[in-house]
């Protein structure tokens, strides 16, 4: 008697670009074994769990998002992700950029987020709001199925506005920035502007006028990554931009500063849930 073959669950993830608000990245995914490494996105993460449950880390702790809940991760916030249920999990997500949500925040005027324009912040990593989750599902379906620009834009603006009003707060930033924070910001901006640069820790420490040892500790405390790990995140962002522009994967790996294609492939898959080749095909 022959043993029956057991079919392995298939990992599926599809990225697309919705042109509304200047282009928002959208993901429809089903994972069983995917284990996202510590990473961050330039944009916010807004995801609806459709089946199963996801466990993830977001800056200050570990959280579980069950079916029907909404995951909220702020821009540049360090997070991970893996299945919290035996059958894996599936979800739909979008990644609006800070400037895109800032536009809506400014339009809210005297609303809950305050009168002055600024960047919104979502204090709760997981919220259970069935009505809003259904509205996001409607938006995801319309973005996939309809080319009616007025309908797409209206629904997207409406659902993001409701999200901000119900679950967002306005980040309060002081006009006086401490010197230590200014020094770290110089390092961060250098890495953001020149992610592929083969820069040393000592050179970054010199830029900030602090010791290398202090830079590593202070940078991790401020941004969730030590400088070398943050550089990888900056290189992945550059790589995504180049892939969207249609550049060859081999060229992207080199231009973004990765040692080789395998090194690039490994980091990209751990952060994005798809390979660079899959992402290239999906967004072009």
pLDDT tens digits for the chain (284 residues)?
344 444 456 789 999 999 988 899 999 999 999 999 999 999 999 999 999 999 999 988 999 999 999 999 999 999 999 999 988 999 999 999 998 898 888 777 644 554 445 688 999 999 999 999 999 999 999 999 999 999 999 999 999 999 999 999 876 554 545 677 888 999 999 999 999 999 999 999 999 999 999 999 999 999 999 999 999 999 999 999 999 999 999 999 999 999 889 999 999 999 999 999 999 999 99
One DSSP character per residue, 85-144 reads: STT-EEEEEEE--HHHHHHHHHHHTTSTT-SS---EE---SEE--HHHHHHHHHHHHHHH
Q: Counting every residue, how long is the chain?
A: 284
What token pair was written down for 234? 């900056």
Name 74's Cβ contacts closer than 8 Å, sequence gap at least 6.
44, 121, 122
Give me the sign of the Cα torsion angle 61, 118, 28, 34: negative
Q: What count of other Cβ atoms lies within 10 Å of the Cβ of residue 99? A: 12
User: Do 105 and 44 contact (CB within 8 A), yes or no?
Assistant: no
User: Do 256 and 196 contact (CB within 8 A), yes or no?
Assistant: yes
Domains and CATH numbers, the chain: 12-170 (2.60.120.10), 179-283 (1.10.10.60)
pTM for this one? 0.87
């Amino acid at each position: 008697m022959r043993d029956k073959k057991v079919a392995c669950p298939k990992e599926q993830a599809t990225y697309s670009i919705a042109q509304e608000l200047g282009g928002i990245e959208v993901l429809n995914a089903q994972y069983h074994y995917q284990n996202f490494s510590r990473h961050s996105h330039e944009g916010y993460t807004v995801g609806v769990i459709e089946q199963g449950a996801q466990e993830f880390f977001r800056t200050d702790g570990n959280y579980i998002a069950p079916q029907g809940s909404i995951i909220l991760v702020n821009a540049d916030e360090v997070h991970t992700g893996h299945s919290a249920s035996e059958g894996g999990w599936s979800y739909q997500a979008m990644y609006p950029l800070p400037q895109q949500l800032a536009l809506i925040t400014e339009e809210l005027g005297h609303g809950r987020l305050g009168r002055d324009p600024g960047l919104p912040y979502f204090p709760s990593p997981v919220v259970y709001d069935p009505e809003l989750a259904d509205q996001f599902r409607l938006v995801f379906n319309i973005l996939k199925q309809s080319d009616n620009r007025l309908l797409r834009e209206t629904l997207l603006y409406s659902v993001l506005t409701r999200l901000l009003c119900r679950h967002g707060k306005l980040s309060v930033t002081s006009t006086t920035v401490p010197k230590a924070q200014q020094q770290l910001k110089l390092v961060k901006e250098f890495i953001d502007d020149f992610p592929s640069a083969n820069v040393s820790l000592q050179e970054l420490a010199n830029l900030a006028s602090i010791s290398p040892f202090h830079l590593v500790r202070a940078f991790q405390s401020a941004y969730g990554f030590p400088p070398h790990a943050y550089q990888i995140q900056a290189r992945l962002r550059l790589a995504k931009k180049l892939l969207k522009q249609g550049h060859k994967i081999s060229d992207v790996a080199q231009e973004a500063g990765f040692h080789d294609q395998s090194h690039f492939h490994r980091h990209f898959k751990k952060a994005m849930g798809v390979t660079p080749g899959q992402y290239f095909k999906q967004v072009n």
